[in-house]
Structure 1
Amino acid sequence: MEALLPFVPYRFRPDRKPPYLRPWMVPQALWGRNLRALLIKADWDRIRKDAYDRSGSRCRVCGGRGPKWPVEADEGWQYDDTTRVQTLKGVISLCPDCHAVRHWGKTMSSGRQNEALAWMCEVNGWTRAEAQRCADDAMDQWHDRSRFQDWKCDISWAVKTYGVTPIEEGDAIAEERNQSFVQKAREQYGSQGNHSSFINHLFYES
């Protein structure tokens, strides 16, 4: 059993307890700063495909597969709120449903939060109220972290594990993507008047 545990989806492992799945939102200053921007395409493809192979192209959280494509690569980040460093801890495979929960801001912007909340309930064995509290806590944490613009990104895990080298233009690409994402968020939420949104906190509150 011990030898098999690394291959068992999180929700079925006896050594794990819920939440197996929850939103994990990236601070606004780090939007667009990921392996896709910081590495050449061949290196990113190698890392994500290795994650697919390790899981047998099944979701590491629920064991499922998507209807159009089986799994997607998800970067697992750890955040130090004192030093404001985002550190990459690994890349795993997630089905589209689990991935939508993890990327809560994107899911909200597309109006699919009800489906994602239902899936959080299913995977974690939660009530709707418990799932909503978890999502609200994640949003509060995102607001708090997004007050700062001096976040740094540490991808040394990928460098050590796969021997990759960040591209010279990676920072510029990441910054361009960040500005593009922020602009799209402004365009989507800027005209909603007094309606609350996950982006209004940044743009309209001091």
Structure 2
Amino acid sequence: MAKAAGAVFDGKEKCWKASVDRLDALLPFVPYRYRPDRKPPYIRPWMVPQALWGRNLRALLAKEDWDRIRKDAYARAGSRCRVCGGRGPKWPVEADEGWHYDDATRVQTLKGVIALCPDCHAVRHWGKTMSAGRQDEALAWMMEVNGWTRAAATRCADEAMEQWHERSAYSDWRCDISWATTHYGVTTIQGGDAIAEKRNQSFVQKASAQYGSRGGHASYIQHLLYER
């Protein structure tokens, strides 16, 4: 009887461990909002320093390479948002480049490309959202996804803008997209840096023409009108 009981216990323990292993295997596919190993903020504004405007995968890579990377992000997420699990009414998801900023070396490093629903993408691209007059909607969505009060969401947006000002005070930022070259074997197109620089100058000039020296959100907004 003791042996039989021990066998039953061992069998249950193995089943439990197998279930845990299966859950661990599924965890990377669970939207951030519902993962037990993540805490808010799950989504927040993430501003690109002015010196790096226009310097992204869409500018630096051939169109077919960028399309392959972004469509792969959509497929990995099942065409659902990696943050909230939702989908947009017009198009399900959009590609968002995730960057890390080293303020000491002033290097912007690409960490990956993920699929975001339009609502979560609107939070990330805060300037474009403000230019469209949808900041209240974006604040409400940030509150919903992160479980925040309006004051907390507003404070997060203000801190992101302050950080953007600090980073935009420097013109020597560099961009590292080795993640894309390593994972997809792509290379920048010939003259890609020059194209990115030309785009940067164009965005800055358009922002200056429309908003003058008012600065603040405005100079960032104009740039994002031309980015997706």
| TM-score, normalising length: structure 1 | 0.92
Counterpart of 1:66 in 2: which secondary structure? coil
Q: Distance in 1 between matches of 2:210 and 2:76?
A: 38
Number of aligned residue pairs: 198
Match of 2:207 among 185, 192, 195: 185
What secondary structure sits across from 1:111 in the alignment? coil
What does residue 106 of structure 1 align with?
128
CA distance in 2, matches of 1:28, 1:108: 17
* Inter-partner Cα distance in structure 2 for 1:199 and 1:83: 27
The two structures have a TM-score, normalised by structure 2, of 0.84
Q: Which runs of 5+ in 1 are unaligned?
A: 202-206
Say whether residues 1:132 and 2:151 are aligned partners.
no
Read off the aligned partner of 2:75 and give its amino acid letter.
Answer: D
Report sequence identity in percent: 80
* One-letter identity of the residue aligned with 1:41: K
- Of 172, 177, 183 in structure 2, the residue corresponding to residue 150 of structure 1 is 172
Computed over aligned residues only, the root mean square deviation of the Cα atoms, in angstroms, reads 1.5
Which aligned runs of 4 or more in structure 1 are off by greater than 3 angstroms?
A: none
Q: Find the structure with the greater CA-based Rg.
A: 2
Q: CA deviation at 1:16?
A: 0.7
Which residue of 2 is the match for residue 121 of structure 1? 143
Once the two structures are overlaid, the 10-residue window that deviates more, 164-173 or 86-95, is 164-173
* Letter paired with 1:182: V
The 10-residue stretch of structure 1 (106-115 or 149-158) with the greater mean CA deviation from structure 2: 106-115
> 1:17-166 counterparts in 2 under 5 A?
17-166=39-188
Contact 1:23/1:138 (8 A) holds in 2: yes
1:199 to partner: Cα distance = 4.2
**SS across alignment from 2:152:** helix
1:198 equivalent in alignment to 2:217:
yes
Give the aligned partner of residue 204 of structure 1: none
Greater helix proportion: 2
Q: Distance in 1 between matches of 2:177 and 2:213?
A: 36
The gaps in structure 2 that reach 5 residues or longer are 1-22, 221-228
Residue 121 of structure 1 aligns to a residue in which SS? helix
Closer/same/farther in 2, CA of residues 200 and 91 from structure 1, 3 Å limit: closer
Distance 2:205 2:159 in 1: 25
Q: Please tell me whether the aligned partners of residues 161 and 216 of structure 2 are also in contact (alpha carbons under 8 angstroms).
A: no
